Amino acid sequence: MVAAASLVAAVGAVTGMMSAFGDGRPSDDAEPLVTRSPSLLLPPPDVPAPSPTPTSASPSPSKSAAVKRSPTPARSEPKQEAVAAPVRLYRHPESQVLDWVASHPGDSRRTVIESRIADRPAAVWFADFTPATITARVRAVTAGAVAEGRVPVVVPYAIPQRDCGGASQGGASDLAAYDGWIDNFAAGLGSDEVVVILEPDSIAQADCLSAGVRADRFASLARAGRVLKAANPKARVYYDAGHSGWKPAAAQAAFLKQAGAASAVSSDGIFTNVSNFHRTSAEIAYARQVLSALGGPASLGAVIDTSRNGNGAPADGEWCDPAGRKIGEAPTLNTGEARIDAYLWVKLPGESDGCKGTPGTFSADYAYELAR
């Protein structure tokens, strides 16, 4: 399928790590973390907070024209300006790439894969339908991020008929079951900042559904956004806008509006390019076109998956583990681009689309090819 974007996670596995945003600046986690455990739009995460800067000293007291000097006023202590701490994105300590790095100490590819992929924050996927455990598993990620003072990115991926029966098929049995799963997912979000990438492909790929089934899906997605944001008002929820090589912006915006993406009670905006390869510049232009057509509050923004778009998309449209690709801009929360909230690594480089291995499984060969 030319337009397919995801094929992103094996059923029953949490495959990714945590993600961030970037435009060529160093990553939040470009340097290894000290440990391997677990207000967007604050100062750039890759720049250490400067030491508080004193204000200028009081001017020297002026001399009187008279013979006597005016008394010298007492010197005031320099004032300290408050400096906000930089926001860092969370790198989850459990991922296939970290497992590979730990188990291959002598591999010649290890240094490149570790420094350019494993040490970067990326998204944590929840791809299996497990209502009984999903709250605890989400809470483990968000609590781990809070403990490190970082912002996690989580991906709920269990909508019924996801991927329209493709390689990443699966999800809940029906929308009633999905609604309950989302309730449980939301219960694990905590009360601190978290980015939610809501159901990749669920809107852009909805043409595979009948009109009635599609309308029901969109109603469930709108509900999901409301539930997530009600559970944690600091959660930022983004909806599926496909990518610049897929649907026209106006057509995608019409679907997004039906799914609740234009409402501030359910949405903070859109995401593009998840598991795909289109260049950041093309995605910025496309995201802005979609947002313009979508309408809604001016606060709505976009996040872009830059994990594998360093060389752009293949000319032949191949989307399944294509050769000649490379990692893109490092994850960061500071893009410097209007209405572009972040660049994220939603799809973890090296995890297969289904051609280098089972969807969602890690390929060291592919990771090395992307990273070097």
Of the candidates 170, 240, 148, the one whose C-alpha atom is nearest the C-alpha of residue 199 is 240
Q: Which tops the pLDDT comparison, 26 or 301?
A: 301
Q: Which pair of tokens denotes residue 324? A: 């000649």
Active-site annotation holder among 23, 119, 201, 341: 201
Q: Which tops the pLDDT comparison, 99 or 2?
A: 99
Active-site annotation holder among 46, 128, 163, 240: 163
In which band, very low, low, confident or very high, does the pLDDT at 81 lie, cut at 50, 70 and 90?
low
Percent of the chain with pLDDT over 90: 73
In which band, very low, low, confident or very high, does the pLDDT at 84 lie, cut at 50, 70 and 90?
low
Separation of CA 59 from chain center: 49
Number of other CB atoms surrounding residue 205 within 10 Å? 23
Bin 165: left if φ > 0, else alpha if -120 < ψ < 50, else beta: left
Active site residue 201: yes
Q: What does the pLDDT read at residue 82? A: 55
In which band, very low, low, confident or very high, does the pLDDT at 317 lie, cut at 50, 70 and 90?
very high
In which band, very low, low, confident or very high, does the pLDDT at 93 lie, cut at 50, 70 and 90?
very high
In which band, very low, low, confident or very high, does the pLDDT at 168 lie, cut at 50, 70 and 90?
confident
Q: What does the pLDDT read at residue 167? A: 74
Answer whether residue 207 shows pLDDT above 70: yes
Bin 174: left if φ > 0, else alpha if -120 < ψ < 50, else beta: beta
Phi, psi of 240 (to 5 degrees): -70, 115
Q: What does the pLDDT read at residue 216? A: 98
Q: What does the pLDDT read at residue 12? A: 39
Mean pLDDT value of segment 118-143: 97
Active-site annotation holder among 23, 29, 341, 353: 353
Q: How many CA atoms lie within 13 A of 292 on its CB side?
A: 10
CB 339 within 8 A of CB 302: yes
Instruction: List CB contacts of 104: < 8 A, sequence separation 6 or more.
Output: 110, 364
Active site residue 353: yes
Return the DSSP state at 122: B
In which band, very low, low, confident or very high, does the pLDDT at 85 lie, cut at 50, 70 and 90?
low
Q: What does the pLDDT read at residue 166? A: 75
Q: How many CA atoms lie within 13 A of 2 on its CB side?
A: 7
In which band, very low, low, confident or very high, does the pLDDT at 70 lie, cut at 50, 70 and 90?
very low
* Cα–Cα distance measured from residue 124 to residue 195, given in angstroms and rounded to the nearest whole number: 10
Answer whether residue 114 shows pLDDT above 80: yes
Q: What does the pLDDT read at residue 11? A: 39
pTM of the model: 0.80
In which band, very low, low, confident or very high, does the pLDDT at 41 lie, cut at 50, 70 and 90?
very low
